[in-house]
Amino acid sequence: MNAPTKLAGFAAVLGLVFGGAALAGGAIDPDRGDDAPAHSAQAEKSEHGGTPKEAHGGGEQQPVRGLAVADHGVRLVVDDAELRRGRTERLTYRIADDRGRTIQDFEVEHTKRMHLIVARRDLSGFQHLHPEQNDDGSWSVDVRLGDPGSYRLFADFKRDGKATTLATDLRVDGAADLRPLPAPSRTATSDGGYDVALERRGNELEFTISRDGKTVRTEPYLGAGGHLVALREGDLAFLHVHPSEHDDGDAVAFETELETAGRYRLFLQFQHEGRVHTVAFTEEVR
């Protein structure tokens, strides 16, 4: 089925989404820019030539994703969900079938077999990581969580043609001081000092990135011009967004269906000069 079409009408749909110009043949390893361990992005790309759009629309899409620890007959099992504050810890988890066996085979989506998103309950502390698969099929990644409290872990993957996102909680020791969501704003500054402007035209979210007053053209990140995760305040559901059809060159654009009232935190990631940067916006729907 055509996933984006079927999804119309569902406001709270989970998706890791890529937008903007999908520049072919990006030679830069997208992992270089963040703390994720570098691994063979090129090898994965070569065995799976699909564009982000094909990958996104290929599998069955659930109306709501990212709210359950088990779905599609598989379960997310974290070895140790307790982490110490401010320490770099090795986080290991696996995807198990209904008989408890660890799943080994995953399909490449957006150039990776596994995407991991971590965000604190108050939607601070966003991280997007790419774990390495161990010989037994489990996944490991170094993660450092600076603030105490509860974090949501989203494992996003595709197997048997089914795009699936499972989620569970991580706990970091200490008394949590949860902060209110920042007020909605049309502009924000990324890590690394890029100024980002958000414009919403109907269902389209358009981000223009600049530095020192000059518009920046992003480099390919995971095979696309940018990456957007939208999390809903309250239940941390993902909001469905997908890459815009058009590309006007200077902006990274996504289509979305912001239908239910509420507030969402948008996390845009983009690559420039070999580094991945993250910027966050609060979007309110009345």
Q: Residues interacting with Cu ion, by CB under 5 A?
A: 115
Nearer to Cu ion, 115 or 272 (CB): 115
Distance of closest approach, residue 30 Cβ to Cu ion, in angstroms: 8
* Residue whose CB is nearest to Cu ion in the complex, by number: 115
Nearer to Cu ion, 138 or 165 (CB): 165
Distance of closest approach, residue 282 Cβ to Cu ion, in angstroms: 22
Question: Rounded distance, CA 280 to CA 269, Å?
Answer: 9
Nearer to Cu ion, 142 or 250 (CB): 142
Nearer to Cu ion, 115 or 152 (CB): 115
Distance of closest approach, residue 2 Cβ to Cu ion, in angstroms: 24
Nearer to Cu ion, 227 or 263 (CB): 227
Distance of closest approach, residue 117 Cβ to Cu ion, in angstroms: 8
Question: Rounded distance, CA 37 to CA 224, Å?
Answer: 20
30 neighbors 276 (Cβ within 8 angstroms):
yes
Distance of closest approach, residue 116 Cβ to Cu ion, in angstroms: 7
User: What count of Cα atoms within 13 Å lies in the side-chain half-sphere of residue 95?
Assistant: 26
Distance of closest approach, residue 35 Cβ to Cu ion, in angstroms: 13
Nearer to Cu ion, 35 or 82 (CB): 35
